[in-house]
Amino acid sequence: MKIDDEKYENMMFYYKSALRLLETELDTLIYENKIKTGYNPVEHVKTRIKSKESIFQKLKNKNYEINCYNIIEYIYDVVGIRIICAFITDIPLIIDIIKNDKNISIIKEKDYIKNPKATGYRSYHLIVTFPVPTANGTKDIKCEIQIRTLAMDFWASIDHKIQYKFSNTIPKEVTNQLFKYSKNISQIDQTMVELNNIVNEYKEKAS
């Protein structure tokens, strides 16, 4: 079914506005935390608006008719923000910063760090709503925030590229191998935390 182009573009305006506003909000929160604690847990932030093709495909996969209503109701990641940190211990800090913000409302959490996907994909996902002011009042727009380490982000990129090589389900043998090697990435995260703790101990002794 063909979606009305004008209605679609009008709807996307609010998603694009939400992305700009939420990115600014997160930048402010991170900067305020740095001033308060002297520490910035964030390495960098990536943002994106989901493509029309990806949105439509996701609706098809969920067996929903392609229209603006179903996009708004059932597609939570039209707006995507990815927060990358150095250490796995930074992730709870970033989650707390987000949860303590009065403008961001958490509607769903997915912990793929404690419960990795079958391929070994690890990340912490927050589905949130963020208010966008309009001439007719405020619209609460659903957005997805992903929080992961540099190592997890590397693995997610590999995982994504491999999955797109298969039009249907990934063969079990490939999934098993991916999960097996993902443990090496997880071990790197743990090792980096131990190294960081050693560095911090030396800094404390020197101060």
Provide the annotated active-site residues: 144
Strand partners, 49: 79
Treating both helix axes as pointing N-terminal to C-terminal, what angle do 150-163 and 172-206 enclose, rounded to 10 degrees? 170
How many other CB atoms are found less than 10 A from the CB of residue 65? 10
**Residue 70 exposure: Cα atoms within 13 Å on the Cβ side:** 15
Give buried/exposed letters for 189-199 (b at 16+ CB in 10 A, else e): beebeeeeeee
Q: Which two tokens stand for residue 12?
A: 């996307």
Nearest Cα neighbor of 181 from 151, 150, 149, 161 is 151
Q: With helix as H, strand as E and coil as C, how does 23-54 read?
A: HHHHHHHHHHHHHHHCCCCEEEEEEEECCHHH
